[in-house]
Structure 1
Amino acid sequence: MPPKFIEYLQEANRITRTVDHLLYVTYPLIQDKKILIKILTELKKSTAFCINSILQYEYLLKRIPLYKDPKMNFKNFINKCAPRYQMSSIENQKITELFQIIENHKQSSMEFKKNNQLIILTETSQKIIKIETIKEFLQINKKLIENIKTQILDKI
């Protein structure tokens, strides 16, 4: 059985390939808001698997502690691991934005698509997400997977 960090990486890679297909093949044909929401949800899941892979690996090397609180682990990732895996502060902000969008989606009272944008309404705010932004999230996710492969798998 492979180590947990490899399992996380494999799952993130599988999800990312699926998201890529949904975004570049399926969505242009169907153009449904449910597909955009699914893409964002799966991107968040893939990014979380990538982060968990890094955290597990770094924990095994005794570079970082792991916490039961996911928010503490995320802070740990941003502060200690992200620089080691060539993630810029802008990319870290985009990852945080993706996670926040999913939180907004869970709390939203209404979502709709207008002019190739997804609009998520909550009781206190509205969030407009352009297709280009979703593509940026995907590119950051792919970069994170590649950085993990070069930093971890090439050393095993």
Structure 2
Amino acid sequence: MERFLENVIEAEKIIRTSDHIIYITFPLVKDKRLLLKVLQEIKNAVTLCISAVLQYDYVFKRINLYKDPKSNFKTFIDKCAPRYNITKEEIDSINELFDFIEKHKESPFEFVKDDKVIILSSSLKPKTLTLEKVKEFLILSKEILKKTRDSVKRNF
């Protein structure tokens, strides 16, 4: 099976699992650290969708791929996103998702307060993650997956 199809299938599994954790498991367990784990999984799913789009377009010689992931992401934004009807708002949300994960990885300190996870940067600037924000990212990932799946499967 083509690699881009495998990426789409894997992204579907991750999104289904993340959805279950957010809407079924989280209300029962109420462990806020689950939000960070789900956020990481959503990022992985979106990354798989982006990879699938890039690989699909590369196979059909619409784009060139590079060794640098940032260059590939720029190619995705500039050339692929319009073809797959991915809006500017969705691109901004993807960037925000990636930024959240980057801050989480770099963070020297994170804590839970009320219904929020506070991520502190090295300069002690807080970034707040809420259940609603994670749900927004989950909806974003479902939209990206739908657009990716529809375009890739239409031609296969």
Contact kept in structure 1, 2:42 and 2:137, CA below 8 Å: yes
- Deviations, residues 54-110 of structure 1 (Å, cap 9, x unaligned): 000000011111010011111111111111111111110110111111111111111
Contact kept in structure 1, 2:90 and 2:140, CA below 8 Å: yes
Structure scoring higher RCO (CA < 8 A, sep ≥ 6) equals 2
Contact kept in structure 2, 1:119 and 1:127, CA below 8 Å: yes
Structure-2 residue corresponding to 1:54: 53
Structure 2: 5+ residue stretches without partners = none
List, as ranges, runs of 4+ consecutive aligned residues in structure 1 with deviation greater than 4 Å: none
Counterparts of 1:14 and 1:43 in 2: how far apart (Å)? 11
SS at match of 1:82: helix
For normalisation by structure 2, the TM-score amounts to 0.95
Counterparts of 2:154 and 2:126 in 1: how far apart (Å)? 43
SS at match of 1:87: coil
Counterparts of 2:30 and 2:112 in 1: how far apart (Å)? 9
AA of the residue aligned to 2:140: I
Instruction: Quote how far apart the aligned CAs of 1:130 are.
Output: 2.1
Contact kept in structure 2, 1:33 and 1:112, CA below 8 Å: no
RMSD (Å), alpha carbons: 1.0
Structure-2 residue corresponding to 1:140: 140
AA of the residue aligned to 2:27: P
Structure-2 residue corresponding to 1:3: 2
**Number of equivalences:** 155
AA of the residue aligned to 1:88: T
Structure-1 residue corresponding to 2:126: 126
Counterparts of 1:54 and 1:143 in 2: how far apart (Å)? 14
Counterparts of 1:130 and 1:86 in 2: how far apart (Å)? 28
Q: Which moved more, 1:30-39 or 1:55-64?
A: 30-39
Structure-1 residue corresponding to 2:151: 151
Counting aligned pairs with the same residue, the percent is 45
Structure 1: 5+ residue stretches without partners = none
